[in-house]
Amino acid sequence: MINVQEFSRTLITNVERVIVGKSSAIQLAVIGLLSKGHLLIEDVPGVGKTMLARSLSRSLNCTFGRIQFTPDMLPSDVTGVSIYNQATNSFEYQRGPIVSQIVLVDEINRATPKTQSALLEAMEERQVTVDGVSHKLPEPFMVLATQNPIEYEGTYSLPEAQLDRFLMRIDLGYPALRDEIEVLDRQQFSHPVTDLEPVVSSEDLLAAQEQIKTVYVSPALKEYIVRLVQSTRQHPDVFLGASPRGSLTLYRTAQARAAMAGREYALPDDVKFISPYVLSHRMIISPSARLRNVQAEQIVRTILDQVPMPEPERERISA
């Protein structure tokens, strides 16, 4: 049995050798890894989105694939193609960049919806289908997609079906003054990611992913999760609320956060901490609310204040 707390601490510490001053974002990325989910990183260029993906893959000793989305990309540029081999008189599958364990999809909103849809099967079913033949993706498998929230020219909005398949939406933000000075010091001679060594294995990650499923979630906490998700569907400023996949995601990420804290049980605080990152991108704000510049994260935090938290099961915790 793997110690998820020690596994997470080791992984986070190693990634922090490259990503300075962003412990919360790294913790969220590790929660995503443990929950077998995918991350949408929405932030301006140059804050470390690519380095986060590379640091995770190097720390885990996983294969790394990078896809730079552009408007002229085709789905086959993502999934791969079948090429006829005259020597064997048969078609052979030439793998695309999606066939990796950690995949960085850079500027996902620059590709057309047709190309974006090539990711749907990979993200949900962990396989790609080319010419009617399905090919399993390696395990572990995680997509980290980036998009620039400022630049809108030449971009395509992500469809709701694809947004729903991202476990969380996070951002890194600009570093603080001292952190940015430390970045300069660390990169004086070379980038620290080039010297980053694996500290855990992909097999350890697979074991940790199974281990978090044993974390206890009380019936009251399950009800709290569902009430939060249902409240997003009933809020007057929300046109379309979170789907049942949102409930499942809150459930699993709460288990992951509890295991990372060394607990065998999840608490309401786990759900409350993770909810803005899990639910915000799953909601469609009503036109009238958009005119008032209402943000999805504001709505989630309002719901968290309104829905009563359940009391912890003291006898289970003391046990």
pLDDT at 313: 62
pLDDT at 143: 94
- Residue 32: other Cβ atoms inside 10 A: 24
The reply to whether omega before 140 is within 30° of 0 (cis) is: yes
User: Please, are residues 174 and 45 in contact by the beta-carbon 8 Å criterion?
Assistant: no
DSSP letter at 233?
A: H
Cα–Cα distance measured from residue 255 to residue 62, given in angstroms and rounded to the nearest whole number: 24
CATH superfamily membership of 4-208: P-loop containing nucleotide triphosphate hydrolases (3.40.50.300)
Cα–Cα distance measured from residue 247 to residue 279, given in angstroms and rounded to the nearest whole number: 9
User: Please, are residues 162 and 119 in contact by the beta-carbon 8 Å criterion?
Assistant: yes
For 74, the token pair is 């085709």
- Residue 60: other Cβ atoms inside 10 A: 25
> In the chain, which residues have pLDDT < 50?
315, 317-319
pLDDT at 148: 79
CA 299, 268, 32, 55: dihedral to nearest 10 degrees?
100
What is the Cβ-side half-sphere exposure of residue 122, based on CA atoms within 13 angstroms? 30
For 156, the token pair is 């395509």
Residues near 39 by beta carbon (within 8 Å), at least 6 away in sequence: 28, 29, 32, 142, 143, 144, 145, 166, 167, 168, 169, 170
Cα–Cα distance measured from residue 296 to residue 40, given in angstroms and rounded to the nearest whole number: 15
pLDDT at 145: 92
The string of DSSP codes covering 274-295 is HHHHHHGGG-EE-HHHHHTT--
Long-range contacts of the stretch 289-298 (C-beta < 8 A, 24+): 289/237, 289/238, 294/237
Domain range summary for the chain, segments of one domain joined by +:
4-208, 215-318
At position 82, the amino acid (one-letter code) is: S
Cα–Cα distance measured from residue 219 to residue 291, given in angstroms and rounded to the nearest whole number: 39
Residue among 28, 68, 11, 79 at smallest CA distance from 276: 28
Which class is 215-318 in CATH? mainly alpha
pLDDT at 48: 86
Residues near 86 by beta carbon (within 8 Å), at least 6 away in sequence: none
Decide: pTM greater than 0.75.
yes
CA–CA distances in Å: residue 216 to residues 1, 56, 200, 256: 16, 28, 25, 11
Q: Per residue in 259-289, pLDDT tens?
A: 999 999 999 999 999 999 999 999 999 999 8
- Residue 279: other Cβ atoms inside 10 A: 27
pLDDT at 318: 45
